[in-house]
Structure 1
Amino acid sequence: MLKAGAAHTIPYRPDIDGLRAVAVGLVVLFHAWPKWLRSGFIGVDVFFVISGFLITSIILKDLQQRRFTIRGFYVRRIRRIFPALIVVVLAVLAFGWYVLLQQEFAQLGKHVVAAAAFVSNLVLWSEAGYWDNESVTKPLLHLWSLGVEEQFYLIWPIALALCFRVRFGILAFLALTLGGSFLYGLYATFNAPAEAYFSPVTRFWELASGGLVAYAMTKRSPLLPKPWLVSGIGLLLLVLGVVLIKGQSNFPGAWALLPVLGTCALIAAGNESFINRHLLGNRLMVKIGLVSYPFYLWHWPLLSFGYIIEGEKPSPIMKAVLVLAALALAFLTYHLIERPVQKSPNRRRAIQGLVAAMACFGVLGGMVKAGLLQERMPSSAVARYMGALNDLGFPDPAMKPLRYHGSLFQQLLGKGQGTTVLIGDSVMEQYAPLVAQGLRDGRFDRKRVIFATQGGCMPIEGAVRLPRLRYPTCTTTVADAWRLAAGKDVDTVVVAGSWYAYFADWQTDVQMPVGGQLQTFPAKPAHEAAYATLQQSITRLRAAGKRVYLVLQPPSGNEFDPRSMITGSRFGEMKPRTDLAVYRVDRFYSDNAEPRRRLLQIAQLTGTVPIDPVDTICKNGICPTVNAAGEPIYTDPVHMRPFYVRSMVRYLDPALNGSGQAMARR
């Protein structure tokens, strides 16, 4: 985030520092207590508008006074941004070296490199898929917004300088940037949500909005005749954004207009209106605003490490302590690092030192990512458990992409007859190593096996998976999968999913259309609509002569998670547990009795063959969590590892052979 301190070229406005305090407060509260303030992420949008306003104001004034230089602009940005960023990233890297395990530390190294190159948003965009690890385990996740701003700084001063000599050139450039970025953002929000959230192209309109306010204020001051009314409207829009925006679904899109227009109005009102002068401009708000940049930098790493060390979400008291610690560190960083650097009499040496330091931590990050710099904690004792994490077999190297309508599926080719379509989520995708090897070995006699799947997407037509930022295409992909399965060349269809998780009492990330409106799980009407839709979809396939298999959810739970097989302290040493938890089938059935009963009922009513993986995986009421060599057989609480799938899973054999009907009857 852009820091305060541009008073050398434009008049200082305390109310803008107060507005920064509002922005950072929203973000911090959202990150610490997301269920209490689900819309707090709009604080980033407020920051973007402020940055666009201040940067454009500085550039325009320097251009008018004929003293603007590209070099001078970037020197000022380095002095503002680098000091606190270098301190925080190095602290995160050092603490990560002390408490993280091998794969965690390697990922941190990757993110340190991205931070040094100011491309964190692009890296996180590439990591926005289903199989990526949780965002709370990424201590530098929040630097994506800094990446957007730095990419803005690369383009903005050069573009404004080029347009300055042309009459209305700057206004035309601002309008085109704002309009084009906003319209593309609307499209991307519904078609590529991860891009819409992390791409600079879809965010530049927010910075350009602040730039447009800056341009207008150079033409007339005050901007509007009734600043009290303008500031009141701005505050109202911000409040509406906090109240009405319920999550990151469909964001930024049109919803971002609320925080963006609200911030523009508050800035345009000037610093003499009551709200700006007495609410935003009071001493406490200004003090927090002055340290908003280091506060933003510190708060997320502390919360993230709290989650990593605890192994779960920190308690509310712990979160409060971490937030206060971040605020204290922000004040220390501001007074002991930022201000001394900015007041340094030898500016040239200060800039050289900052650039060198930034390059050094980028090199350190690269060394960590490459494994040249090892973590403190020895990992040999827990290597088999850490090696199990992210041990995934999808997509298989032998797979070939298959475009069907707007969806991208994967297919494996064999030497037999007939086509099997596998519909499902990541639970179905985990079987890819089994299918690939079976086709290579001639164990399966299929001509084609198509994985019409999408991780995290409930394989029921019409279902919506939240948040859309992570699951942008579930509804269309699932619809295409069922449409593909109905094709004439398809003779066998297998449906599998993480059923018991979707229909669990705690599940609130799935919606189903009920009576023309979306209802959210676990509401009973939404559950009933999902069961009815699944039955109707299978009935259509059965009426078309397809043989259909409905696979129940394999055993799943924390007992399978390799991380649960490790004990010890992050501040000492992690070692294998000697008392591995026993996984009991009776408890699994008891906890998931209702969805299991309903799925078996659907299979019976539609003439579908049900497959219960428990019958194969578990013996005498107990399911193994490790193999004979003590290696975890799952990569997480839900998904089996490729070696185990290839060697132990046999319940899909009927669906992958032409004689499957006879085998199923047997």
Structure 2
Amino acid sequence: MSTQESPEVETSAPKLAADLNAARGHRAEIDGLRAIAVLAVVFYHFGVPGFGGGFIGVDIFFVISGFLIGGILWREQQETGKLALGRFYIRRIKRLAPAYFVMAFTVLIVGALILMPNDFRETAKGVIAATVYLSNVLFFRQSGYFDGAAEDKVMLHTWSLSVEEQFYIFLPLLFLLFARNKTVMLWALGAVFGFSLISSLITTPLSHPAAFFLFPFRAWELLAGVGLAILNIERPDLWRRHQALSWIGLGLVLTSIVLVAPGAGFPGWQVIVPVLGTVLLIGNGQDDNWVNRGLSMRIPVLIGLISYSLYLWHWPVFTFTKYLQGQYRGPGEVALWIAISLVLAVLSWRLVEQPVRQAKALPTWGLLFTTALASVSLLGLSFMVFKADGMPKRFGPQAQVHIAATGDFLQDFSDCYVPDEGPFEDIEVCPIGPKSEAPNLIIWGDSHVRAYYEGLKQAAREADRSALVIWRAGCAPAFDLEKRESAATPAQDAACTTANAQIRKSLREMPHLQDVILVGRWAYYASGHGSGSDAHNTIRLKSDVYGNMTQDALLGTALAATVADIGDLDRTVYILRQPPEIQNYSAPKVARELVHGRLSEQLARRIGQITVTDAKTRERGAAAALARSGATILDSWRWFCDPFLCDAVQGGVGQYFDNNHVTNAAARRMRSVFYPVMARSSQ
């Protein structure tokens, strides 16, 4: 998000827009470009049709920021021979900090009223990360920007602020490092630009979250603006103004807003289009043509002036309202919340941004002291919320079971590591049980292994059995299978096949290995899709070894071959029967709807139940595949079902986090299902 850096405009708010073109050095068309960028982002987030690529507004802001900040620093260094970094960062604080602090404190206050404990804790974590300029790193380590869970991350939008703030540290340091030689500095800027762009193109298919969130893969966009600023200063004669350039730039930007696709392919090559369009618009911005006159009109300029505050406020408005009511009731309500976002942005700009930016008498020490005090207060308050696990006692007893289940999925993976040599080189393994012995049990599977981890650790301690736990989300523990999953990137799909092939080889190189337990969401792999609340997730299995067959038959064939392959090594193979899927249950969703009165206690209980008949229908293909495998089946159902009904709540304790992953409480409760394996002699 842009800082809206521009030369100071000496005028009052009511006549500000009218005097913009007369203000010395002001580029009104850049404010108009900001308006396009921020409205594209806002309309995309609120789901306005025709703005499917509106998230590229952030990329427009990156180029604008690079152009303005790069121009300021380059001109100052070339004219004075030095950089006044203190003054530079004071300007950054005056422009960014006040509105951010007001928004962040408001988020915590509103969050305390409506957010579930887990969501409140994560929001507090987001506030901490944003305040120390690391929210992009935090969200990189979590799930992606385009997934459904993004709507619950109230501070997600601050990722772009952190990227820009990291840029404000990086660029002055680069200028200082090469200050003595202009030519070397230009080569250095070009080298960093090229490295960042190429790295982004390479990394996007391999690790989309890294390419999307992390500064090294976004730096080239900001540096495109820096390069344009330097070109305008050093060789203005090289840019041949022509109205066609503005029209082409506008066309590229608008086409991107409409057509660029969200998902794992972005940023990649797609982001080059809006960046190039923005460079053309800014570079040709002082040409007298219809595009620039349109961008310099009163309404676009005013929206551009409030763009920083609008960006700050629109996302909390969106996330909180969606959190409270689930879905909007049509275009009218969408328009209402967008309008409210605009009102909040105007108030923030007029009452917070402008007074601080125009406060000539505000002493530097006063600004720094106030900023430090606000930062410490915000960090302290957020840390208290985080340490208190989101303050679960804020809500009544009717939702406490589901609230507890919502937060009961965190495990201690401090013992896990990725070996840099040996059979499991580059594969994360988690040792459990006594560490004095070589592991003679492998527990291998998908994210369900992660869900059972606390129970597995306790069972291994009680049985004094040394084991290794290996898991990869969405990856069936079977040999010679390939997958294509809607929730994964092609690189993640390929990594599943590669890892399974390596595990196959590794099992042959473990002389002490005695038993193997396979764990997975078998119904997902057999049917090819999720169920109930995650029915939109799909997975397709194929195999060049086993040929064409139905997916459940392919799973059964692959499991039978896997069991036979491991059995040939004189090892015993066990398969855990997946607990019944309670198709429409989600602990976070049920807890939220109970608290906000959209769900009765009786209906919540029914949502958390499924008949044994319906559960077996979902399991039919998986049951046949497991039966065909020839492995010993460990049956988990008795911990969740009576003869007629399976229930997500047992003994007043939530057993499921979502419709297929169990909680830590359930994993510990059902740990005895592993006893027949754990208790086997290691001799």
Tell me which interval the TM-score lies in, with the shorter structure as reference length. 0.7 to 0.9
Alpha-carbon offset, residue 167 of structure 1: 3.2
The Cα of 1:298 is off from its aligned counterpart by 0.4
Say if 1:223 and 1:637 are closer, same or farther in 2 by CA, change over 3 A: farther
2:64 pairs with 1:46: no
Distance (Å, rounded) in 2 between the aligned partners of 1:147 and 1:634 = 35
CA distance in 1: counterparts of 2:392 and 2:628, whole angstroms: 56
1:175 corresponds to 2:190: yes
CA distance in 2, matches of 1:248, 1:45: 15
Give the letter aligned to residue 172 of structure 2: P
1:495, 1:549 within 8 Å by CA — same for their partners in 2?
Answer: yes
CA contact (8 A) 2:73 2:83 kept: yes
Distance 1:558 1:504 in 2: 11
CA drift of 1:146 comes to: 0.5
- Look up the match of 1:581: 605
Q: CA deviation at 1:62?
A: 2.5
Residue in structure 1 matching 2:367, options 351, 357, 361: 351
Matched, 1:195 2:236: no
Deviation readout 1:102-141 (Å, 9 max, x if unpaired): 44433333322222222222232333499x9933222111
Distance (Å, rounded) in 1 between the aligned partners of 2:345 and 2:430: 49
Q: Which moved more, 1:504-513 or 1:356-365?
A: 504-513
Q: Can you list the C-alpha shifts for 1:169-206, whole angstroms capped at 9, x where unaligned?
A: 33122202212222333343344433322222222111
- SS of the residue 1:435 aligns to: helix
Aligned to 1:475: 494
1:634 to 648, 656, 659: 656
Q: Assess if the C-alpha contact under 8 Å between 2:581 and 2:660 holds in 1.
A: yes
Residue identity in the other structure for 2:575? Y
1:540–1:71 distance in 2 versus 1, CA, 3 Å:
same
Deviation at 1:619, TM superposition (A): 0.8
Instruction: Say yes or no: does 1:622 pair with 2:645.
Output: yes
| 1:372-401 deviation digits (Å, cap 9, x = unpaired) | 996993567755543332313645666665
Distance 1:399 1:155 in 2: 34
Say which SS state the counterpart of residue 247 (structure 2) adopts: helix
CA contact (8 A) 1:433 1:642 kept: yes
For residues 542 and 264 of structure 1, what CA distance do their matches in structure 2 show?
58
Contact 1:459 1:497 (C-alpha < 8 Å) held by counterparts = no
Distance (whole Å) between structure 2 residues aligned to residue 173 and residue 52 of structure 1: 16
Question: How far apart, in 1, do the equivalents of 2:244 and 2:144 lie?
Answer: 44
CA distance in 2, matches of 1:656, 1:596: 26
Quick one: which of 565, 585, 599 aligns to 2:622? 599
C-alpha separation between the residues in 1 aligned to 2:488 and 2:282? 32
1:237 is the counterpart of 2:291: no
Cα deviation code 1:493-549 (max 9, x no counterpart): 524116349514774544548899xxxxxxxxx997754653453243244253463
Task: Return the match for 1:261 from 261, 272, 276.
Answer: 276
Counterpart AA for 1:430: A
- Give, in whole Å, the separation in 1 of the partners of 2:221 and 2:592: 46
2:554 corresponds to 1:538:
no
- 1:341 matched to 2:341? The reply is no
- Secondary structure, aligned partner of 2:428: strand
Residue of structure 2 aligned with 1:62, choices 76, 82, 91: 76
What's the counterpart of residue 664 of structure 1? none
The answer to whether the 8 Å contact 2:116/2:591 transfers is no
Question: Structure 2 vs 1, CA of residues 430 and 90 (structure 1 numbering), >3 Å: closer, same or farther?
Answer: closer
Unaligned runs of 5+ in 2: 10-23, 568-572
In structure 1, the residue matched to 2:159 is 144
State the distance in 2 between where 1:529 and 1:224 align.
Answer: 61
- In structure 2, distance between residues paired with 1:399 and 1:69: 47
Q: Tell me whether 1:452 sits opposite 2:452 in the alignment.
A: no
TM-score by length of 2: 0.81
Among candidates 626, 645, 653, match of residue 667 of structure 2: 645
TM-score by length of 1: 0.83
Q: Which moved more, 1:77-86 or 1:165-174?
A: 165-174
1:84–1:333 CA contact under 8 A, matched in 2: yes
Counterpart-to-counterpart distance in 2, 1:592 and 1:375: 35
User: Which sections of structure 1, spanning at least 5 residues, go unmatched?
Assistant: 517-525, 660-666
Q: Deviations over 1:239-271 (max 9, x none)?
A: 453455322303323332222222222222223
Residue of structure 1 in register with 2:408 after alignment: 391
Take 1:226 and 1:133, find their aligned partners in 2: how far apart are those partners? Answer: 44
**Alignment match, 2:16:** none
Q: SS of the residue aligned with 2:575? A: strand
Aligned in 2, Cα 1:391/1:568: closer, same or farther, shift over 3 Å?
A: closer
Hey, what's the Cα distance between the residues in 2 that align with 1:472 and 1:388?
A: 32
Q: Using the alignment, how far apart are the partners of 1:372 and 1:436 within structure 2?
A: 23
- Residues 241-320 of structure 1: pairs in structure 2 closer than 5 A: 241-242=256-257, 245-272=260-287, 274=289, 276-310=291-325, 312-317=326-331, 318-320=333-335
Distance 2:351 2:3 in 1: 15
Question: How far is 1:354 from its partner?
Answer: 4.9
Residues 261-318 of structure 1: CA deviation (Å, up to 9, x unaligned): 22222222223264631443333322222211111000111111113223x3444444
- 1:97 pairs, out of 109, 112, 115, with 112
From the superposition, tell whether residues 436 and 267 of structure 1 become closer, same or farther in structure 2 (CA, over 3 Å): same
Conservation of the 8 A alpha-carbon contact between 2:582 and 2:608: no
**Given the superposition, is the C-alpha separation of residues 179 and 308 from structure 1 closer, same or farther in structure 2, using an over 3 Å criterion?**
same
Distance across 2 between alignment mates of 1:620 and 1:326 = 53
The count of corresponding residues between Structure 1 and Structure 2 is 641
Tell me how far apart the structure 2 counterparts of residues 456 and 216 of structure 1 sit (CA, whole Å): 49
Write the distance in 2 (CA, Å) between the matches of 1:322 and 1:3.
Answer: 24
Task: Tell me how far 1:210 sits from its aligned partner.
Answer: 0.7
Between the aligned partners of 2:274 and 2:639, the Cα distance in structure 1 is 54
**Could you tell me which amino acid in structure 2 is paired with residue 388 of structure 1?**
A
* Secondary structure in 2 matching 1:452: strand
CA pair 313-588 structure 1, distance change in 2 beyond 3 A: farther
- Determine which of 415, 430, 433 is the counterpart of 1:410: 430
How far the C-alpha of 1:634 sits from its partner, in A, is 2.5
Q: Deviations over 1:47-102 (max 9, x none)?
A: 11110011111222233432851122112212211222122112212222333344
Q: Distance in 1 between matches of 2:31 and 2:542?
A: 47
Q: Give the secondary-structure state (helix, strand or coil) at the position aligned to 1:544.
A: helix
1:425 alignment partner AA: D
Residues of 2 paired with 1:325 and 1:175: CA distance? 43
What's the C-alpha RMSD, in Å, of the aligned pairs? 4.0
Q: In the alignment, which of 438, 463, 469 is matched to residue 442 of structure 1?
A: 463
User: Which amino acid letter does the alignment assign opposite residue 323 of structure 2?
Assistant: I
**SS of residue matched to 2:394:** coil
Contact 2:117 2:390 in 1 (8 A): no
- Whole-angstrom CA distance in 2 between matches of 1:15 and 1:213: 16
Which residue is equivalent to 1:4? 4
Kept in 1, the 8 Å contact 2:576–2:633? The answer is yes
- Whether the 8 Å CA contact 1:583–1:622 is kept in 2: the answer is no
**Residue 624 to residue 354, structure 1, CA distance change in 2 (3 Å):** same
> What secondary structure is seen at the aligned counterpart in 2 of 1:451?
strand
Counterparts of 1:323 and 1:181, CA distance in 2: 35
For 2:413 and 2:486, how far apart are their aligned partners in 1?
Answer: 27
Q: Tell me: CA distance 1:548–1:365, structure 2 relative to 1, closer, same or farther (3 Å).
A: closer
Identity level (%): 26
**Cα separation, partners in 2 of 1:634 and 1:597, compared to 1, 3 Å:** closer
Matched, 1:494 2:514: no
